[in-house]
Amino acid sequence: MDSSASIFLAVAIMIIMMGMGLSLTLADFRRVVQNPKPVLLGLTNQIILLPLVSLGLVYLFQPPPFIAVGVILLAACPGGTSSNLVTLLAKGDLALSVSMTAVNSIITIVTIPFWVGYAYSTHLDESAAMGSPTVDILKTLFVVLATPLAIGMLVKNRSPRFAEKMERPVRIASSLFLTIVILGLVAREFDLLRLYLPQTLGIVMALNAITMGMGYVLSKSFGLSFKQAMTIAIESGIQNGTLTISLAVITLNQPDFAIVAAIYSLVMYAMSSIPIYFGIKHQS
């Protein structure tokens, strides 16, 4: 990918993360302390179980190394900002969704390098494994994730009316950016995508279905409400595809790793219609 495309991708993810920050306040983090059970259950599903499920699917499907690393990288990334919108449409617990998205985005700054390092050492050859880019990933996450998120929250704190006005335009821009990024990636890696689409599609559909199902079942088994369980299911299934693609293309310089994220982004939006349907039906 040329330098102009890489710059566009970096700017896109920074705008998306700043947009997330515009919707967050310190109250979203305090809510975790005040009512930790739903958030802790959700984070357990996102940060621990989701990557473990990805490892199990990689073992089961035995895909080529670049797909295996792509699956693990995707599972390691935080939930996407779109989860808040899907939760709203599904009439879920929006406050819980926002809190989980916020906390998960911060925690994964630490966990993503660990999972990528594991993926490199396990699924790539010895020379690539020796060059596992943990430090580069940390730098990228602070630049494109933590910094714009903090700026967005600062704007929200200082100018709440301006932040409220900007939330919708930024959300629309985020969706457009993601669409452009996916189309560009598909065009660049079309031959590779066509060759491995059937195998990759099976993995990402299984990953999405299993993690959403686990999120719901785990939540209900611990006595959470339907709205909370549905929200955790959504948060578990909606991943930050743009961040995954950004790390693959810019930081790791491996566009083929991003194919999984591109396909997953399309699958997760299609499958999000399931919790939306049941959420609306439960309210009626």
Question: Is a pLDDT exceeding 70 seen at residue 151?
Answer: yes
Q: How confident is the model at residue 127 (pLDDT cuts 50, 70, 90)?
A: very low
Which neighbouring-strand residues pair with 239?
Answer: 79
Residue 230, pLDDT score:
93
Nearest CA to 102 out of 160, 11, 33 is that of 33
* Stretch 58-64: mean pLDDT: 92
Alpha-carbon gap, residue 177 to 164, rounded angstroms: 20
| Pairwise pLDDT comparison (18 vs 174), residue with the higher score | 18
Highest averaged pLDDT of the listed ranges 1-15, 22-36, 247-261? 247-261
Residue 57, pLDDT score:
95
For the chain, give the percent of residues with pLDDT over 70: 86
Question: Is a pLDDT exceeding 60 seen at residue 129?
Answer: no
Spatial CB neighbours of 84, under 8 Å, sequence gap ≥ 6: 23, 94, 97, 98, 101
Residue 278, pLDDT score:
87
Question: Is a pLDDT exceeding 90 seen at residue 54?
Answer: yes
Question: Is a pLDDT exceeding 80 seen at residue 124?
Answer: no
Instruction: Give tens-digit pLDDT for 81-106.
Output: 778 778 878 888 877 887 888 788 88
Instruction: Give tens-digit pLDDT for 215-247.
Output: 999 999 999 999 899 999 998 888 887 788 888
Spatial CB neighbours of 152, under 8 Å, sequence gap ≥ 6: 17, 18, 19, 20, 21, 22, 23, 24, 163
Q: How confident is the model at residue 128 (pLDDT cuts 50, 70, 90)?
A: low
Instruction: Give tens-digit pLDDT for 165-222.
Output: 777 777 677 667 767 766 776 776 677 777 778 878 899 999 999 999 999 999 999 9
| Average pLDDT of the chain, as a whole number | 81
We report the CATH number of the domain holding residue 252 as: 1.20.1530.20
Cα three-residue angle 210-132-147, rounded to 5 degrees? 75
Which neighbouring-strand residues pair with 79?
Answer: 239
Question: Is a pLDDT exceeding 70 seen at residue 143?
Answer: yes
Question: Is a pLDDT exceeding 60 seen at residue 131?
Answer: no
| Per-residue H/E/C for the chain | CCHHHHHHHHHHHHHHHHHHHHCCCHHHHHHHHHCHHHHHHHHHHHHHHHHHHHHHHHHHHCCCHHHHHHHHHHHHCCECCHHHHHHHHCCCCHHHHHHHHHHHHHHHHHHHHHHHHHHHHHHCCHHHHHCCCHHHHHHHHHHHHHHHHHHHHHHHHHCHHHHHHHHHHHHHHHHHHHHHHHHHHHHHCHHHHHHHHHHHHHHHHHHHHHHHHHHHHHHHHCCCCHHHHHHHHHHHHCECHHHHHHHHHHHCCCHHHHHHHHHHHHHHHHHCHHHHHHHHHHHC
| Pairwise pLDDT comparison (218 vs 2), residue with the higher score | 218
Instruction: Give tens-digit pLDDT for 69-83.
Output: 999 999 998 876 778
Residue 110, pLDDT score:
84
Alpha-carbon gap, residue 232 to 218, rounded angstroms: 9
Query: 224: phi > 0 → left, psi -120 to 50 → alpha, else beta; which?
Result: beta
Alpha-carbon gap, residue 125 to 113, rounded angstroms: 18
Please answer whether residues 146 and 106 qualify as being in contact, where contact means their C-beta atoms are separated by less than 8 angstroms.
yes
Please answer whether residues 97 and 80 qualify as being in contact, where contact means their C-beta atoms are separated by less than 8 angstroms.
no
- Number of structural domains the chain divides into: 1
Owning domain of residue 256: 3-283
